[in-house]
Amino acid sequence: MARRQTGGRGRAAAFLVVSLIAAVSATAVIYNLFQGFQEELAKAQEKEEMVRVVAAGSELFQGASIKAEQLKYVELPPAFVPDGTFLDIEEAVDRVPLERVLGDELLRIERLATVDAGVGLNAIIPRGMRAVSVNIEDASSVSGFLNPGNYVDILVTIQSSSKVYTTTTLLQAVKVLAVDNRLGGRATEIDMRNYKPSVTVAITPQDGELLAHSAAQGKLTLTLRNDVDVEKKEFDGAATIAKLIGREQIVVKDVKPSKQALRKAKPKIRKVKEVAKPTGPVIIRGRNVTGG
């Protein structure tokens, strides 16, 4: 009996030791997890290092030199700062935007003309391109809604020697550099009755020759495009009056009919015998007619 009691006490003691070791291990694991959560929480509460960069304090327009009062500093996490962003306002002063920059937008070097590009219109002309101005009627220039920085298609309507008008898309996705003398901003109140705007666009030298010839031979019309829709597309030929009414032109030649055709076409006249007019009353009984 004594041996049995001694063996039972030994097993109980071993169980207690194993349980104690498991409890200590679980406590250690929970403690380590808790410590990890505490460290992550402390890192999250720490203030992240920020970078001071240059942004537009107000809207900037293409071709107009940037002034210091038009810029401001903003602080952003390093992960949100794109490459080429200015870090010092003085580096951007007197530079010329190549496109319109909205307020609060970050100022990046690829959106500005080079330092040696000059100011005004010549600073915003892309390399290899030419600035060409065309005078058009307001009805052909999107009724005053056209502004610098927009993209347009240029159509030309020309009358042929046979007095047939043909309209075709001459150039697509052409960037507007200036409207009248405006390199930026929006149009002010103008008298639309006699308004004939001068629109300056950026095109290649070859397209410049084509545009000049088309302006001399016909009438130009501008169609406004979305600023992000600059993809060039193929069209099914030029528009003519025949296509407009949905049928081909029919040419009718002036041909004189022959004598034989006129003879056949002459109507035949049949003579009808004259019937004596009745002088008295006429009595009709069925098919019998008496009197007269």
Report pLDDT for 290. 67
Mean pLDDT of 132-154: 80
Q: What is the pLDDT of residues 29-75, one digit of tens each?
A: 888 888 877 777 777 666 668 899 999 999 998 888 899 999 999 99
Q: What is the pLDDT of residues 115-128, one digit of tens each?
A: 888 778 888 888 89
**Rounded CA gap, 270 and 264, in Å?**
16
Indicate whether 149 pLDDT > 50: yes
User: Across-strand partners of 178?
Assistant: 200
Q: What is the pLDDT of residues 200-213, one digit of tens each?
A: 999 999 999 999 99
Q: Is 90 exposed, middle or buried (0-12, 13-18, 19+ CB in 10 A)?
A: exposed
pLDDT confidence tier of residue 248, bands split at 50, 70 and 90? very low
More confident residue, 198 or 203: 203
Report pLDDT for 68. 93
The residue length of the chain stands at 292
Give Cβ neighbours of residue 217 (< 8 Å, ≥ 6 apart).
156, 158
CB 170 within 8 A of CB 155: yes
More confident residue, 68 or 250: 68
**Rounded CA gap, 178 and 170, in Å?**
20
More confident residue, 106 or 184: 106
